[in-house]
Structure 1
Amino acid sequence: MRLLFLLSVLMLGACVEREAPTGREDFATFCAACHGASGRGDGPAAAGLDRKPADLTGLSARNGGVFPGTAVMAKIWGYTGVSPGDRDGGSPMPEFGPLLQGELVPYDGGDGISTPTPVRLVQIAEYLKTLQE
């Protein structure tokens, strides 16, 4: 009887969906090593890179005061509009698209077009908005 109870608890636990990480959590996991916890490009891995990681706190300032949501998500996802092998002129930024796949939500990145976008990608972009100075 006890064994049956334990097996049913284990099976139930395997069926429960895990809650998706927040944008802050995904940033800490995927971005902070290079961009730093505050997003200034001063993470512990930054010293070992040929190019200093971008200071993410000034994205809006460098875009006329508007957060460039679509461009930010394209960069995180790994799409930069250049041919493979010539990714952004040799940027050390890895492609995170495969790691962020999952549920899609409609998102307007500021260009007036609502596009189905992975929720985790949206959450990272929304978190980056909170880092803007």
Structure 2
Amino acid sequence: MQPLRPAFVFLPLAFAGLLAACLPAAKEPAGFPTGAEDFASYCAGCHGADGKGDGPAAAGLPKKPANLTVLAKNNGGTFPMTRVMAHIWGYAQEDGRVMPKFAPLLDSNMVLFDSGDGIQTPTPIRLVQLGEYVKGLQGS
């Protein structure tokens, strides 16, 4: 029996790569808001346009909205993405919670999201986008 030559091993892989390149790219359906748009619609009223907790509705709330620009700073320099998304979604319940649950409003197509534990979890894309937007507010 002759040993396999490298060309015979890599030829099927090269063919598969060419075939994949010919397939149409999967696209996210248009029509749902970006993270910035969802923030403006659902968060800025209380947290303010810059996320500092000073939105126009903040004065009438029994508890001051969180300053979203210091979440990473208050977490040892690491942005707590999973905790933020759980809070937005309404999964993380706290006594005295003033913030509404946004799960029904952010229900959308699912994407695989790795929160850092190496496990890809199906998560609504709008929730991930909103979390990424809040992450971008850090230090502003």
TM-score, normalised to structure 1's length?
Answer: 0.79
1:106 has 2:118 as partner: no
Offset of residue 113 of structure 1: 2.6
- The residue that corresponds to 2:49 in the other structure is 37
Offset of residue 43 of structure 1: 0.2
- The residue that corresponds to 1:63 in the other structure is 75
Q: Bigger radius of gyration, 1 or 2?
A: 2
SS in 2 for 1:107: strand
- The residue that corresponds to 1:51 in the other structure is 63
1:26 has 2:38 as partner: yes
Verify the 8 A CA contact 1:105 1:117 in the aligned structure 2. Answer: yes
Query: How high is the sequence identity, in percent, across the aligned residues?
Result: 61
Distance change in 2, residues 1:110/1:62 (3 Å): farther
Which residues of structure 1 form unaligned runs of 5+? Answer: 1-16, 81-86
TM-score, normalised to structure 2's length?
Answer: 0.76
Alignment partners' CA distance in 2, 1:113 and 1:68: 16
Q: Number of residues paired by the alignment?
A: 111
- The residue that corresponds to 1:125 in the other structure is 131
Offset of residue 18 of structure 1: 4.7
Letter in 2 for 1:88: E
Aligned-residue RMSD, C-alpha:
1.2
Offset of residue 110 of structure 1: 3.1
Letter in 2 for 1:41: G
Alignment partners' CA distance in 2, 1:57 and 1:91: 19
1:77-123 CA-to-partner distances (Å, cap 9, x unmatched) read 0001xxxxxx4111101000010111000112234332110000000
Greater than 6 Å deviation, 4+ residue runs: none
**Given the alignment, which residue of 80, 102, 108 partners 1:96?**
102
Alignment partners' CA distance in 1, 2:114 and 2:39: 20
With CA pairs under 8 Å and 6+ residues apart, which has the higher RCO, 1 or 2? 1
